[in-house]
Amino acid sequence: MANRTNLIAEFGRDLLAQGYTSIPNLLLRSYRSIGISDREMVVLLHLIYLRSEQRDWHPVAESLYTLMSSSTLDIDASLTQLQEKKVLSIDQQIDAETLELMPVYNLEGLFDKLAEVWALEKNNEYEEQQKLFQARQERDRKANDSRSRGALLTASAGTSSISDTASKVYKTFENEFGRPLSPIEGDLIIGWCDQFPVELVIEALRLSVIHGTFNLRYIERILQDWQRKNIRCLREVREMEEAYLEKKAIVNRTRGRNTRIGSNKADSAKEDKYRDLYSI
């Protein structure tokens, strides 16, 4: 067991000592997109290895053959195809020892093609981000529009309710007056509907009809009188009327006057009552 452990440790040290050949991930994942076949890719990998490990700048087919299972003819064909595809080129370089010109494989064509792939990927990423940004803006816009529409619908619902109510009151006034209302009269009535409870506006109209006074100013004075007395609903109007009748009955009895309560004509009695309450 100890011998095996020592062997593995020695292997690890030797593996590190022999070094690594760095291959760009961009090349591994995109070589097919730039027209490089699998065999040509293996040739390229060995060219990179021989350059970095053995400083062999122009390995011949025989050198590559020792590293591959392909024949020298196939390797030569791959090298030729790589040059035709402008992935490889052959330059001349002066040897530092012999001062003679020597051929070297130039990988700038490969780097240019990888740079194009990188630029295309970055452009695609940018366009995708732009689409996502636009989609997010559209989502936010729709959400804002939805919230705005909801608020608008809520406000419109309230406005519609007021408008419908005011319209009904408007029609009631026209029916009681027996004629169309002028725009000024219509604005005045709508203003009352905003300022006073609608039931009080209708009640003031009823009192005006009983009194035989088809006059908006008379109705307005009734409403203002109720407002001064802090009367806010029809029930309070009724309570005020009853209190007034009781007070009037007491005064009449005190003066020795006979007060007749009730009548076969209720409308006539109400007319007398409201003529006293709301006289012009």
Query: CATH assignment of 2-106?
Result: 1.10.10.10
Count Cβ neighbours within 10 Å for each residue of 191-208 and write b for 16 or more, e otherwise: ebbeebbeebbbbbbebb
* pLDDT higher than threshold 60 for residue 277: no
pLDDT value at residue 4: 66
Dump pLDDT digits (tens) for 28-70: 999 999 999 999 999 999 999 888 887 888 888 888 888 888 8
pLDDT of residue 238: 85
Q: What angle separates helix 266-277 from helix 198-211, to the nearest 10 degrees?
A: 110
Mean of the per-residue pLDDT values of the chain: 80
Q: What band does 74 get if pLDDT is binned at 50, 70 and 90?
A: very high
CB 87 within 8 A of CB 34: yes
Q: What predicted TM-score, i.e. pTM, was given to this entire model? A: 0.46
Judge contact between 182 and 173, C-beta under 8 A. no
Q: Cα(269)–Cα(265) distance, rounded to whole angstroms?
A: 7
Name the pLDDT band for 266 (thresholds 50, 70, 90): very low
Residue ranges per domain, the chain? 2-106, 196-277
